[in-house]
Structure 1
Amino acid sequence: MAHGVCELLRIRNLLGELGFKPKHVMQLNCDNKVAINIAHNLVQHERTKHVEVDRHFIKEKLKAKIIKVSFVKSKDQLADILTKAVTSRVFHNSRSKLGIDDIYAPT
């Protein structure tokens, strides 16, 4: 999640430099409920010691209302077609949701 937040901030800064000031909170979708709960939780637990820096970084951006983290089911992660081997059915469904056309399809 921390890397995703960094990328969102980089895109936000780039858009700001181009003259497009973001009007809304940037949304980060995550398929890990535990990670979302840790990011929103105010209490430090024994199990989160190894992610303390990342947790505070994400918490800071949540508190400043720069980002918003929401849950999405693993099967609905559109980015999986770019990072994992998926079935052809999942690939074609995700591709259509992303608006990517098949350039080799007969017209």
Structure 2
Amino acid sequence: MAKESLSRRRVSVNFSTAEAVSSIRDTIDRLNQLWDRINMEECMRCRRIEKFFLYISDLLNQMVVDEEEMVEGIQGGIEEMSRQVEDLCKELHLQPIGRTHIKPGSLAL
């Protein structure tokens, strides 16, 4: 089941990648149409396209940073809550909750 789930996620990511590439191509086509209307020279178009790709690169890098921060926050929260659950189990004289079947860092309970 885990392999099937991973495969479905991969397909979804591949589909999203294809959509992103298509969107970038469409945007460049639209930009070229705009630039054609004012007869923009090739060298200026190249500079503007370079800036376009810099914007995309900056956005993607920021998204990765944001996702890393989110994952670290979730992992920290899981660790803290797990400690609190262990402490409560001890205080209430309950058996510890078994988490051996769960991968470390997983969101599963």
- Between the two structures, name the one with larger relative contact order (CA 8 Å, sep ≥ 6): 1
Larger radius of gyration: 2
**Larger helix share, 1 or 2:** 2
Greater percentage in strand: 1
TM over 0.5: no
TM-score (norm 2): 0.22
